[in-house]
Structure 1
């Protein structure tokens, strides 16, 4: 049993009966992270009120705390909802529909006549380009990263569309659709439609992180903390346009979640459209999020190959309760990271959230 686990498992039902005590919540979250030898930054939301709670270092060598304003973290697959939201904006503008075949943009991709935009957004395209996260040792332009995926798909056998298969391929191709439809780079679209629109101050693409700030370093615990340091290299990030090349902080990501329904990015109607596409399978994934509990919960998890980062969002759909968790020291175990989050979620509001 990890040190501090007894503290992390404290029953929280009596706490919630009283008014929200931010000091107590901070202590609980930090003790929970300590119990799993985890480090990182969490934004918890209780009754509509966000609170950032950090534990440990985001960059141990420079002694920068996990919540330091100079540190940003890879968003990992939590970026996919941003890509999905921009696609939804284009659909709302009448550029195409969820049923439009992707051969419109990828005429040379095998099977593209049978695959829709909706299939890409719900991971039901049947397309899987292996090793999208394995560092290939060169910095790709957006166009080159997308073309690599197309060439990889054309050189390997792919499945027929219909069944859910989570992978980066779909959202890299969606980034390519955004580029072709707008005549601007994916980065420009995110900058104008998301970052500038919301006034985000800690959200950047890796190559644009300003002087005086830094991307975080990831670690694992091996007899002691901050072992086996790994960071996201520009070569790896450049491969994942639209699916894992953005860096941010949990509070900025919280503002993005608000923007998905308050009209700044999407209206509530457009959000419901994005998360309920016709091709959505029974697991509830659509547009970058899993919808659960009769659509009262929204979830997403992300990490990056060969790093120790682990991100998890789980919030009520009305954004009133939940957490956004960016961990930079993990055991590279998704289930373990979700156990950390689930204990915190139950402390925020018991009997509300999903364990996975």
Structure 2
């Protein structure tokens, strides 16, 4: 059932489509185990949907639209926000180098050119530091505990992908930012998330798992990945110590919408610091203007994924319209890369139905 027509910031009417229908269509695209989504207008839920099942082959019942899920790299936006709040309070500077704030990175040769890489470079993914993810990091083994410094050391074994100042997506940047936050604040990253973001915004169902075997609390969808023989493996228990500030937060559609709304409305950072996160940098792929609805209404997408899941939150520039989606999948990484386009189609059917078939 559609919600009443609402108005955007420029008073243009926007009709919220059938979220349940959008989730059913998303599951039917193939290799999707379950999909949940919620629409928020001015912070109030205006639609919800759930399709598919908690487990493979229709098992486990349906997933509540209010269920928790991993938000993946949407966590990076939170980590950057906390780091920039420390900049705002004068405890950290954007031009501080890794060698200055984490001397061990230079002294122990954990990061090449640590004395040149700044906090700004880490936030904007322009440090040139390689990603730590690789065959030696056992992301699906909950019996191994990795320290952040272990992940950074693993990245040192990889070849530098780019020069300092040029965009290159690497999770290691945000592991290092988490280490900086903990050192400067004198508290754990999970504690800083709670005191600076989750508690002030009332994100009651959101948390950062920090133990290797920590799963998702409560009913939730399971994702699957094909092994080398083609067998589907349940990858629900990702090793939380390999995610942390780069992609570890567990949240809900409601809570992640609360965060993205506050971020877009400037309630967490002044514009000058928020721009450090949002402004494009050299080498960064161009961001689609206006989102899937071609600006009528416009949306900015924040997403995250890992084997077994894709999660996206769309937010209008004024923060008034939002669509948060979590998809659990049973596919290899190559196919998972295209799931974002399927989720874009779901957004079209909810907020721009006239173009949904284009």
Give the TM-score, by structure 1 length: 0.75
Are 2:319 and 1:319 aligned? yes
Aligned to 1:33: 27
Shift of 1:328: 1.1
Task: Specify every segment of 5 or more residues in structure 2 that has no aligned partner in the other structure, as ranges.
Answer: 1-11, 227-231
The worse-fitting range, judged by mean Cα deviation, of 55-64 and 309-318 is 55-64
Aligned to 1:276: 279
Aligned to 1:8: none
Seen in structure 2, the aligned counterparts of structure 1 residues 211 and 124 have a Cα distance that, compared at 3 Å, is closer
Shift of 1:317: 2.0
Does the residue aligned with 1:206 lie in a helix, a strand or coil? coil
Are 2:95 and 1:99 aligned? yes
1:18-64 residue CA offsets vs partner (Å, 9 max, x unmatched): 97365x34324423432335222122356876433221223569735
Does the residue aligned with 1:151 lie in a helix, a strand or coil? helix
What are the equivalent positions in structure 2 for 1:1-356 lying under 5 Å apart?
20=15, 24-38=18-32, 39-45=34-40, 50=45, 51-59=47-55, 63-67=60-64, 69=66, 71-107=67-103, 108=106, 109-131=111-133, 134-135=137-138, 137=141, 138-140=143-145, 145-158=147-160, 159-206=162-209, 213-214=218-219, 216-219=221-224, 228-233=233-238, 236-262=239-265, 264-268=267-271, 270-276=273-279, 280-283=281-284, 292-293=289-290, 297-304=299-306, 307-332=307-332, 333-350=335-352
Seen in structure 2, the aligned counterparts of structure 1 residues 64 and 91 have a Cα distance that, compared at 3 Å, is farther
Give the Cα–Cα distance (whole angstroms) in 1 for the partners of residues 100 and 61 of structure 2.
47
Contact 2:123-2:276 within 8 A present in 1 as well: no
Shift of 1:111: 0.7
1:74-131 residue CA offsets vs partner (Å, 9 max, x unmatched): 1211111110111111111122232221211232233111111111111111101342
1:127-165 residue CA offsets vs partner (Å, 9 max, x unmatched): 01342684264443xxx5221133234444435312221
Contact 2:14-2:351 within 8 A present in 1 as well: no
Contact 1:122-1:281 within 8 A present in 2 as well: no
Seen in structure 2, the aligned counterparts of structure 1 residues 105 and 33 have a Cα distance that, compared at 3 Å, is same
Seen in structure 2, the aligned counterparts of structure 1 residues 350 and 125 have a Cα distance that, compared at 3 Å, is same
Does the residue aligned with 1:104 lie in a helix, a strand or coil? helix
Contact 1:102-1:112 within 8 A present in 2 as well: yes
The worse-fitting range, judged by mean Cα deviation, of 83-92 and 344-353 is 344-353
Shift of 1:291: 7.7
Root-mean-square deviation (Å): 3.6
Shift of 1:170: 0.6
Aligned residue pair count = 318
Aligned to 1:7: none
Task: Specify every segment of 5 or more residues in structure 1 that has no aligned partner in the other structure, as ranges.
Answer: 1-16, 222-226
Give the TM-score, by structure 2 length: 0.75
